[in-house]
Amino acid sequence: VAPDIAASAARQSVHIVLVVLGLLVFVSFFEVFSVGSGAGRILLAGLLVAGIWLWHYRNHPQFIAALRRHWDNGIVKAVDLAVLFTAMGLFAGAIDHSGILIQFQPVLQNGINQLGALSILVIPLVYILLAIAGIHPFILVVILGKVLMALALPLSPVSLALLLLLASCVSFIVSPFAGMVLMTAKFLNVRPVEVAWKWNAGFCTLFLVEGIVFACLWN
């Protein structure tokens, strides 16, 4: 690797770390002072980090040109996906308020009683398979999260939360219907299945195994 390329990569890595740390600090700050809802805190933190970033580079000679490129190749290109994300949010809310989830609780409780400790393996796997089958991970968070929290599980609440978080993270990476996968495929002009399964599957398998082990040890 050429020294200039290595130096540029190092600077970009530092920028990414600073952005992530900034988001964590702002979200934690809003959490401590109970500013807004959970989603609102994340959005507000993102706006603040983006605003600070733009202010820092306001005098850069390529600032205006970069904004124009981002508008043409980023925002405009992703407009059609905004309709999809809005529809998924409305669908998840409708499912949440319909009461249909309660009807599945006896069936799930019976299955969990038979599985016992194996539930710690089955829950994330079923979550991921449903996401791959076409149910968006965002909707699954509402559906499975609310149902499972109402059941008697052989898991501690913390372990269940870890499993749902783990399954959600993996699903957002391996589901061809997840937002980041769709946007990555759109920008790179490849199929979403290629991004989700060919590029991300190996990393997600390792991440899933490590997460399940950690949840088992915690339980």
Average predicted confidence (pLDDT) for the chain: 76
Give the residue-averaged pLDDT of 195-201.
84
State yes or no: pLDDT of 1 exceeds 60.
Answer: no
CA torsion 197→198→199→205, rounded to 10°? 60
Give the residue-averaged pLDDT of 104-108.
71
Q: Quick one: pLDDT at residue 82?
A: 65
Closest CA relative to residue 24, chosen from 40, 55, 46, 39 = 46
Q: Tokens for 144?
A: 């499975």
Q: Quick one: pLDDT at residue 173?
A: 85
Quick: pLDDT tens for 115-135.
776 777 777 888 888 888 777
Quick: pLDDT tens for 145-162.
777 776 676 677 777 778
User: For the chain, what percent of residues have pLDDT higher than 90?
Assistant: 0
Closest CA relative to residue 140, chosen from 149, 132, 130 = 130
Q: Tokens for 198?
A: 């060919």
pTM of the predicted model over 0.75: no
- Give CA–CA dist 210/133, Å, rounded: 24
